[in-house]
Structure formats: C-alpha cells, structure tokens
Chains A and B, each alone.
Chain A
Amino acid sequence: MRLTQHSGVLNNGEVDEMSEYAIEVNNIYVTFNTYSGKVHAVRGISFKVRQGETLAIVGESGSGKSVTAKTIMGILSKNANIEQGSVMYQGRDLLTYSDDQMSAIRGSEIGMIFQDPMSSLNPVMKIGKQITEALRLKQKMSKTAAKDKALQLMKDVGIDQVEKRYNQYPFQFSGGMRQRIVIAVTLACNPRVLICDEPTTALDVTVQSKILELIKELQRKRNMAVIYITHDLGVVANVADTVAVLYAGRIVERGSVEDIFYNPKSPYAMALLASMPDLETDTQRELYAIPGTPPNMLFPPQGDAFASRNQFALNIDFAEQPPEFNVSKSHVVSTWLMHPDAPEVVPSDFVNRHVASQDANYSKSAHIDYQEKVLQVKSLKQYFTSGIGKNRLTVKAVDDISFDIFRGETFGLVGESGCGKTTTGRAIIRLYEPTAGTVIFNGRNLALKMKDRERREATRGIEMIFQDPITSLNPRMTVKEIIGEGLRINKLCQSEDEMMEMIYSILDVVGLTKEHATRYPHEFSGGQRQRIGVARALVTNPELIIADEPVSALDVSVQAQVLNLMNSIKKKLGLTILFIAHDLSVVKYFSDRIGVMYYGKLVEVAEAEELYRNPLHPYTISLLSAIPHPNPKYEKTRKLIKYDPKMHDYGDKNVSFTEIKPGHFIRCSNEELHQYLAKIK
C-alpha cells in the first residue's frame, strides 16, 4: 500500500531548478507494521543533494536514517508503508515505480553501500562474478568486457594483484578489503548518486580513514552526489558538505557542515556535540550526557520529540511541533528556541549548566594510589594452536606483554581489532589458560595451572563487563537472577532477603529502580542493559573490573551516560578498571594511563595526556592521526600517517620495552631508543 502524494513543490516555477539537484526527497513519511503497533520511523523528511555534493545524515540508532536511505532505493522490508512524500530523480518520482522498474534505477543510477562488509557480500560467489553480475545482466556486456571493467574498478578502489583477486571468494579478504569490493560492486554501473549507510562503522579507525579517503576521491572523479549516513560526528566533519541532523524521524537541523558544527541552533545538535568526548575534552570533569532515552516511535510524542530530554525546553515544545526557521539561506532549524520570543540558548550553556551542577571536587586522578599495584602482568603470552604435525598453526594473540595497574587507576588498552586486547583481558580473568608469564593479583599468580575451584577462588575480586549488552545477558533470566547469580555462586550472602537487599542497593547505584529487578533484559534499552551489565559486575564487590569495549555498542548520548556512571561508581567504591576499547577519544577521556597494542605486542604505555601530546611509536602516531574529530576545519586538513609494520621487523636484534621518560614506556631496539631520546629533547 503506497499512498503517494506529489507535494506540489516542483509543479510551478521551480521546474528549471530541478536539474540543479541530483536527487530530491520531499516530505517522506514511512511507518512499519509490527506486532505491537505502527512504528512511525520517518515523519516527514525533505532534503536535496546537488551533483558532486555530500550530504551527511546524522542521528542515533532508531532515528530513521537507514529507513530514509532504503526508501530512496526502494528496498524497504515488506512491512513498511510509505504514507506520503516523493523522491524526485531526474524529474521522475521514484516512489511510484514498481520493484522491477526500480531495478533499472538501482545500481545504474543510484548505488548503495552497506554497513557490514562481512555480511554484505555473498559468501559462496567469487568476487569477480559479484562485480560483473550487474554489468552482464543489465548492460548485457560480454564476459571479457565485463571482466576488464571489473579489473579496472578493483584497481580504482585500491586492490592489488587484481587478476588473482578476481577469482577469490569474500572470506579471503579482510574487512577493509571487503568494503572496497562492495564499493567496486556498487560503482560497476556508474551510479550518479551514492548512498553510504554507515560504511565504516564496522571497521578499525585506520581502515576507516582509508575508506573515507577512497569514497571522497571516487566522488571527485565521478562527480557523484553522495548521501552519507552515520552516527559518528567525526566522520561527518570529515566527509560532509551539508549535514542533516535527524531525531525521532524528523530533521531537526540542516545546514552546511560549518553551520552545524560551529553554529548549531537546535538543542539536540548542541547536546549531541557536547556529549561527544574528543581528544580535547577536559578529562577532569564529568562528561555532559543527554538525560533519558530517545522516544518510542510507536507513540511519537506531540510537539518537539527532544523536549523531554532538553533542559531548556519551553512549554510550547511539549505541545506543538516547532516550524522550520531559516537561520541563513542554507541553514534551516526546527526548534522553538528560534522564535523571537524565546530565550537565547548557546551551545556552551549545555556544558556550563552541567559543570555548575556537578561536584566541585570531581577529579579522577586524586584517587590513585601509586604505591599499591592491584594487578601485575609480566611477560604474559597467550598462544592459540590448531592442527597437528605439519599443519600446526600457532597464533600469537598476546605475545609477551607486561604492565602494572595501580589501585584506583583506569588503565586503557587500545588497538585495532585482532591486536589481542580482548584476549589479554580474558587471559587475566582466566577465561583462557595463559601460555606463559605471570599475572599477579592479590599476591597470587593467576597464570599458573590451577584446579577449577582454585581458579574461582583466585579470580574472585575480578569482574568483567562485556561489549554487547544485548548478547551478554541471558534473555531467559530476570535482572534479579542475572545480578544475584554472582552472589550465589560466590556464596556472598546468607539468605534470600540479604541477596535481594544487595541487588536493590546495586540497582540504585547504577541508576535503576527496584521495579526493574523482576524484568527480563529485552524490556530494557541498550544503555539500561549496559547498566545491568555494570550492576552484575559490581555486586560481588570486586577490586578490579575488566571492561571490554563497554560503550562501543551504544549511541553517543547513551555512551556518555554509561561512562559517567562508571566514573562515579569507580570513585565511590575505589575501583580499579582495565578499560579495553578501540575508540581513542573515549579511552583518552576515560583512562589515566593508556597502553597501545599492535599484533599481540604492547608498543607504548604512557599517561593519557602524555601519550596524546607526545606519541613516540610510529604506530601510536598513525593511530592518533586516523581518529576523525568532530571539527570540520581540522578534518579538512587531517592527514593519515601510514604505519608500515615492516620497519619493525627486528629480526634477531635485541628489542626491549624501555622507560624512555618517567611513566612513558616504548617498545624499541637500541638504535631506535637513541632516535626517540633525541626526539624528546
């Protein structure tokens, strides 16, 4: 059922202007039929993109970004209804097209890249065939011509040995390479409009900046219009010419990238920018967090959807949807704050009001006791082997790393995926049996071979928080059971009443209520689930918490809430945290000291500020250069410094982990040490 209404915008006078825009989306409204009712995913979104221009659509999960993209492509799922609106492409409304008619538009006129390169390629089809498929079927190209074109495309997206690669399967490529293949597939039929749906979210930062460069370069060469969907403001600052900020299915603010980042007018955009920790964020104060959670789109709120989370909301915000105000010719914002009668609110108000309300003596480092080491890791090795005899394969996931964590400290461990940071955490808590080395906690060496009971005894006092709050909580257990399990297993309570008492008090600490105790995990939002995960870890009163990417699955606004929560609990309970993450800005904000890992080795350890100001190891420098900042001026000039691992092929040279100045350790050979020392002076 498709209720298309031409919104009349194009009918008179503006027909001439039409060709100026590559694609125009007019007032589309999309709902989904679900078992619990009608979800209003997109509620009247309009935008226009010029040829050669990049529009970034930003918003948290559930704000309707992907739905908008899929509506343009005509690949919405079956339970979706397009209630109204039009998508104008070269004077035609794509929403009136049938699925078969749309297949002529898709790929050859409008292409789309998806989020997860691991699952968007057919695993059992050679990549060459996947690239040429559309050419052969739609353009009826001959086999050899299609192959030539595909090889050229593969070269264009930066794949070498194309002849050989042409006949390989997706599983033989890494994530970044697969995303390049997806781009090649998408560009095969020369689309004029390219939609990128979070194309780098699943990738490492260094890979991300390469892919971003690639998309920009291809856009320049082919003069494509690009619609770039992301939740990462840093990426937006890098790629976008214009930005549309989405909240609860509506565009709340739209303008040039400078307008949005330097002169945001809508409360949501201001709050979003304030809640992102970047490398410049003052680590000694609490992060600004948007309170509450996004609205339930089954019942879209009346008035401004953001009003309930906005501390500056006016009465009218709760009653009436704000109209669009023009700030300048390009900058349109939808908020009552722009009304002449409204009080003036500027972005810094969000931060200042927040700073004023918080503890005057909020300070992280004051709680660290540098005399007492909670955890000492010495030459820890964790190898995984498979196969026997000639086929024996050893993966050195963690290869000889050493570090200490002091009482009350947060030690951050960063690195790309596959560098062994998660393995390190798991080896410490003895989910794996370490191959060699010592891990000293509470005077006992955890890395020894132990009986099951001994191991449980020894690792008591270490708890873990996992990355994915959805899969790490058993869906068949209530919150009460999930949290109480640790108490029961470790026999920390005498009676059922005492257990409930402890569960209630810990729920209170993480900001949940008694009523939540009897519910199941699926009844909570992502941020609340991670709070349950934190409560589960805290209830046994541990000394050390290993937090494995605890916020990377969360939205920006929720991420800030969880980080603040962990910080305040840490201070209250005197916890020590090993914080494992790949997001350098979060690690920088959250940690006191940081260790950088690369392929199983710890290459540099220093205090957070020091590591960021004076990175020494080439890999650290490369990693820092790859982080996108939510600052367009910086982003336009940012250069990715590439790290060539070959330079650290030491052979049989003597390599050591040396303290180059107090508190700053680096892995280097003797010659390099002199170079580094010269660099510091």
Chain B
Amino acid sequence: MIRYTVQRLILIALTLFLIVSIAFITVRMMPGSFLKSRNLPEDVRLIIENKYHLHEPLIVQYKYFVSDFLRGNFGVSLGLQPKVPVFDILKQKIPITLQLNLFALILIIPLATIFGITTALKKNQLYDHIANVLVIIAISVPSFVFASLMQFNLAYRAGWFPILLSTEKALTWSKFHSMILPIIALSVGAIAGLTRYVRAELAENLNSEFMLLAKAKGLKQIQAVFRHAIRNSFIPLANMIIPLFMGILGGSLIIEQIFGIPGTGPLMISAINANDDPVTIAVLFFYSIIGLTSILLIDLSYGVIDPRIRMGGKR
C-alpha cells in the first residue's frame, strides 16, 4: 500500500510538471502581451523585458521559469496587481473557492446517495418517476441559469438571501448565509447526475445473485440492501467523484462571477484578459493540484472499499 502511494505521488509530480510546462507554452503562444500596451513607455518596456528575460527565446525563458517554479516562486503579477507576488494573490483567493467547493461537495454526496438509494428501492413507482423528471431537468439546465433564477427570485424579490457574497473575511453566519445560494447553484446539477448513477448501480446490485443469497439466508430486505447491495454500488461511484469535483470547480468559474465572489474563477478570467501570464499559469497549477489530489484520494479509497484491489486479486 505504501509502495503504491509513493508510486502514485511520483507519477503525480511528473504529471504536474507536464501540465505546468504545457500551460507555460500555450499561455505564451497566445496572441497579445501586456508589453504591447500603447501606454507603456519604451524604456520601461526594455527594463521589464530585461528583468523577465522576455527578449530571450522561448526555450531559455522556459529554463528560467522552471528553475523559479521548482523553488516555489511563481513570480510577480504583471498586469492585474503589478509587482505583487502571484503567491500572495492566490493566497487571498483560494480559501473562498475551496470553501465554496467543499460545502457543495458536502451537500452533494449525502443528498445524491439518499436520492439514489430511495429511487432505486422504489424503482418504477411514482416517487421514482417524479425524481427522474426532476433529475433530467437539473442535469439539462445549466448551473448559471439556476444561479440567475435564484438570485432574482429568492434574493432580489423575496429578499431571503443577500444578492452578492458578503465581504467578511472570517466565516461567520452572515457570510455563510450569503454562500447558500452559490452552493445550491453549484450542487444541483451534480446531485442530479450522481443520483442517476447511484440509482443505476444500486438497481443492478439489487438484482444480483448475492442479494438473493442474502435474502435466502434470512436477512430482511432492508438488512440485505444495507449490508450487501449498497457497499457494492459505491465501488464504481468513487470513480464518478473525480469528474464531479472537477465539474464543480469548472462550474464555480461562472457561479463566482454571478454572485460576485472574489475567488479563483474571476481571477483566472481577468488574468487571461489582462495577459497576466504568471497569474494565469499559477491558477492553472492550482486547479491541476486539486484535480490530481482528488484522483489520488479516490484511487487510495478504492483499496479501502474493494478488497480485490487492495490485495491485487481479480474477480
């Protein structure tokens, strides 16, 4: 198990390096540069070019970039907040995005599990049919539509929630209150998708032969479902959580914009618009770390859920 974890960590480091390299090259290849700005005096431009080695060929710049990067130095922002280290900008923005995403995840997993299990148990009954219609609506309507609708109806007209996110730094009740709508907007689609998945998996496991044997040995239906069917249907589920989490992160790009949340989403968009390359790369790097860590956690959790993987067996 330890060996496996170490192997995975090395692989992750390699992947991260690849991602950052590709990000560096693609970002540099994008048209436009903040140096091309008309307001910039010629001498200032030269100074900046020399300082950041911008006149050198791309490959040499890449060398400088890598050596800085390996020392944990992301450089300073060029366009958005000139001369402020990128790391400090990120440090302000990351907590709020992470908070939002984690709250969404905390909401999604239990709700999706509950809906999935109940619909599977009541398959083809009225409850299941109603839930199915709702699920399809939730999957097909984009999250920003939900966000706008809720903002207008619940926040603006009913006045139950603040329209925008509270600017308080600490996580207080009023701050949490203002986070509720963004969290719901982020979760709806994911809850629906996951519900469908849990329902399908569980329905299949309910018809499996080991459920028959569980009942044949005298377990009540409810005991058999909870002791045998559910754990088995969670195995493929773990795999779903990776794209799910990445999906929420992607969704938060837009949701943060709508609710005026100063997170990494708006930061990335404005960094790209301002041609602020160091910030763009740093945000991409942050997203990759989140993605790869969640993949690692899920791969490791497989071993806990499924003994066949832990012990290297096959079916």
Contacts and interface: CB of A to CB of B under 8 A. Distances in A.
A106 interface: yes
A134 B220 contact: no
A106 B210 contact: no
A236 interface: no
Interface string A113-134: 0111011111111100000011
Nearest to A138: B218
A172 interface: yes
Interface string B206-221: 0111101111111111
B216 A169 contact: no
Nearest to A100: B220
Given A106-B217, A133-B227, A134-B218, A114 B313 contact: no
A105 B217 CA distance: 9
Contacts of B207: 77
B313 A172 contact: yes
A185 B213 contact: yes
Contact of B232 (A123, A182, A189): A123
A120 B214 CA distance: 9
B49 interface: no
Contact of A124 (B220, B221, B306): B306
Interface string B110-148: 000000000000000000000000000000000000000
A409 to B, nearest CB: 38
Given A122-B228, A123-B308, A124-B307, A133 B217 contact: yes
A186 B314 CA distance: 25
Contact of B231 (A105, A119, A124): A124
B305 interface: yes
B235 to A, nearest CB: 7
Contact of A106 (B215, B227, B231, B311): B215
Nearest to B221: A99
A169 B307 contact: yes
Contacts of A188: 217
A564 B236 CA distance: 46
A304 B79 CA distance: 90
Contact of A125 (B209, B216, B223, B228): B228
A145 interface: no
Contact of A104 (B218, B227, B232, B314): B218
Nearest to A114: B209
The interface centre, meaning the residue of A73, A120, A188, A189 with most chain B CB atoms within 10 A of its CB, is A120
B235 A111 contact: no
Given A120-B213, A171-B314, A108 B308 contact: no
The interface centre, meaning the residue of A103, A104, A118, A122 with most chain B CB atoms within 10 A of its CB, is A122
B36 interface: no
Contact of B315 (A75, A108, A171): A171
Contacts of A123: 210, 232, 306, 308, 315
Contact of B214 (A99, A122, A172): A122
Given A125-B228, A169-B313, A99 B220 contact: yes
A511 B172 CA distance: 80
A77 B311 CA distance: 35
A533 to B, nearest CB: 26
A189 B218 contact: yes
Contacts of B209: 114-116, 119-120
Contacts of A356: none
Contacts of A189: 217-218
Contact of A112 (B210, B216, B231, B314): B216
A77 B209 CA distance: 12
A506 to B, nearest CB: 38
Nearest to B232: A124
A189 to B, nearest CB: 6
Interface in B214-259: 214-221, 223, 227-228, 231-232, 235
A116 B228 CA distance: 17
Contacts of B219: 103, 107, 133-134, 137
B232 A107 contact: no
A105 B311 CA distance: 37
A171 B218 contact: no
Given A99-B221, A103-B220, A182 B213 contact: yes
Given A119-B210, A186-B216, A186-B217, A124 B235 contact: yes
A103 B219 CA distance: 6
A107 B218 contact: yes
B79 to A, nearest CB: 49
Interface in B176-210: 207-210
Contacts of B308: 123-124, 169, 171
Contacts of A138: 218
Contacts of B212: 75, 112, 114, 120
B256 to A, nearest CB: 39
Given A114-B212, A124-B235, 5 more contacts: A100-B220, A112-B212, A122-B232, A185-B217, A189-B218
Q: Kindly list the 8 A-B residue pairs having the minimum CB-CB distance in the complex, ordered from nearest.
A: A107-B218, A120-B209, A112-B216, A107-B217, A171-B313, A119-B209, A134-B217, A122-B210
18 contacts: A100-B220, A103-B221, A106-B215, A106-B216, A106-B217, A107-B217, A108-B218, A111-B217, A116-B209, A121-B213, A122-B214, A122-B232, A123-B232, A124-B232, A134-B218, A137-B223, A169-B308, A189-B218
